[in-house]
Structure 1
């Protein structure tokens, strides 16, 4: 084993580069650097500093505890990196298997002359897989190298801590801290690995056999660019339902009227709903569905603006609604519209037929004991049948926070996303055709982008995109609509 490099006492007594004839005998914890006596009276006077002797003495007393702390932190961080690598590896393998399966399924429907195209796309898929594996392998190699160095330094700390000079000990301390920071940075998913390759299927029409081949593409979510912003009243825009990239129905709090606006802010039509509404869902034939929490009814509006009640949810209060691919309704229901719950509370998501017949309810985890929701609000169904539900609650200090639950079609919890910094205030959710989910974080004025497995990908917009709190979000094609809280502002972004 190589011995750790030591400095002689003479080498440790370096002279200050800023003050001639002054020895470096102090250490600034704020700047993490050795300084001289004059330095601490000047530029470092308001910093956390002390003599090298005292800091080194304290470190020596804490060597045993520091050793345990370093081991604990390094173990935790390294395990986190390993989990990221395992997760991304599994994801890449599943991605490869899914794409290969869809390629084979489509290949059986077409004639022999298109086989070459499938082979080329499969090669592209495997190249993408190889690319990801190479990056993950490099990340794993770096992790092993850092782990080896950390273990080496810990061993030297155990063996020779009392023999180190002050400068040696501080240098060792700084190197360990730097290594731990580098290990933490390894946990960040490398740029490009969150891009998802997917097979875009073609038509099964025999008159367009060439289109059946489809294409293998890497989905890269580009930055959203602000296209326009405008105001609709002075209250919260609590729901946006796009009809196209140019038009959307919007609804504000403290009003019972729906407004159809274009992305320039011109109001083209209004429909009176005669009740407060949290959100809407629309079928392919233009029928709009919404919850009436005042009467506990599910209602619809046809193209002419005629309102019809479909069924009652009493005694449960309906809050938010979404449509499934099969034409059923997903409804969030509460027995009491609060963020707090007790042992007798009922807060759930119900899958209903248009007749009101209950198909399935999601209230507890698979064990049947732990409730999933405190106040379930916005929800959606992904292309694969999985469901995303925004859930709100109050913490011990009375602050409203939230999380996003991912459930499969049977109600099994796939993930629970709780934000990135412990202060997550989600209110609305939407998704694109590739399964990326966008969640508004109202208090922090951010849009979180997560993947199908609930893993954070990135923040969609820059910190400067919103000066006001955000509330609602909707996407149509390459156009993103975002509604503000309390001020009536709507911003339209283009991908």
Structure 2
């Protein structure tokens, strides 16, 4: 192909005759096959067997067909382009309409969801406030009973303080008995909260220790009628799971929730949560070498925590804050403890072979009596 120098602007009536850069000759021929301008030397070499004409000849032929060519451009190609342009405009308008329709539909779905959530929120809030009113009513009744009981006790105390020197022995003994009865019955006037339960739950579809996005592992706080008060499944970020396999659960007297969480077939940990679900302590035992397999947990009246270690044959005593205090029992006294129960000062320990041992705990958890079944 012959390279040509730039043309004059289209506005100019004069046209510069370009030169072939390859042969340095005037461009005076057009190759119809290649649709290029060439020089006579190009026609003899690179375009030897092509259909080429001199520019004047080709120009005369084109002028004869010019009207027909331009008419075809205007009547066919321009019209087709106008139709394509109109089609593009219509497509843009249709796309805009579809987008607006989808946005409107999405907005309606959003409003419907918000409406449902708001209805759920209002119902749940109503239920919570109803429970609050019921609980506070019970608590207030207990408080009034306590105040009444306190007044009765103080009346007897003041009476004895004022009259004991002048009253008969019979009257003194009788009044002291009344005082003793009032004191012994004071627990009956304490606040009696509505009975509630904590239960551990897990799905039966996913693998036990290999959780996926559909796995459910949680502790549920419910009333005796089955109403859900709260669920504990995720940490505060709403994504990190609290439990692998929640095995046993107890609520401490300080409202903390103690959960034995099995992390594998041979290991577990004790998780202590606040009543709001925040992780306070994760206890995995005292040895970095020996892994614990905690199997059960109980709490005493002072909010101390007792947890059984089935793997190492130990009963751990923890303080209310989850710090280790001592071993209550070791493998020399029990083997593979799988369950524990505490009634007043009596500790019941059972193993997976059906053996139950009963221990009496006094003072600072010194074991004084042992019974075997």
TM-score bracket, normalised by the shorter chain, equals 0.3 to 0.5
The structure with more strand, counted as a fraction of residues: 1
Please identify the structure whose Cα radius of gyration is greater.
Answer: 2
Higher relative contact order (Cα pairs below 8 Å, separated by 6+ residues): 1
Of Structure 1 and Structure 2, the greater helix share is in 2
